[in-house]
A and B are shown apart, each in its own frame.
Chain A
Amino acid sequence: MLDKFILLVEDNPDDEALTLRALKKNNISNEVHVARDGVEALDFLFCREAHADRNSASQPQLILLDLKLPRMDGLEVLKEIRANPLTKLLPVVILTTSNEDCDVIGSYELGANSFIRKPVDFDQFMDAVRQLGLYWLVLNESGDRR
Chain B
Amino acid sequence: MSAIYKKELKSYFSNMTGYIAIALILVVAGILSRILNFRGLYGGMEGILPTLSMILMLAVPIVAMRSFAEERQLKTDLLLYCLPLKTTQIVLGKYFAMMTVFAVPTGAMLLYPLILSMYGKVNFLSAVSSLLAFYLLCGAMCAICMFMSSLTESQVIAAVLGVSALVVCYASTILAEALPATAIASFLAFTVLICLLALVVYYFARNYWVAFAVGTVLEAGMLIAYLIDGSRFAGLFQKVIGSLSLFQKMNEFVSLQLFDTTVLIYFLSVSFLFCFFTVQTVEKRRWS
Please indicate whether A and B come from the same complex rather than being unrelated chains: no
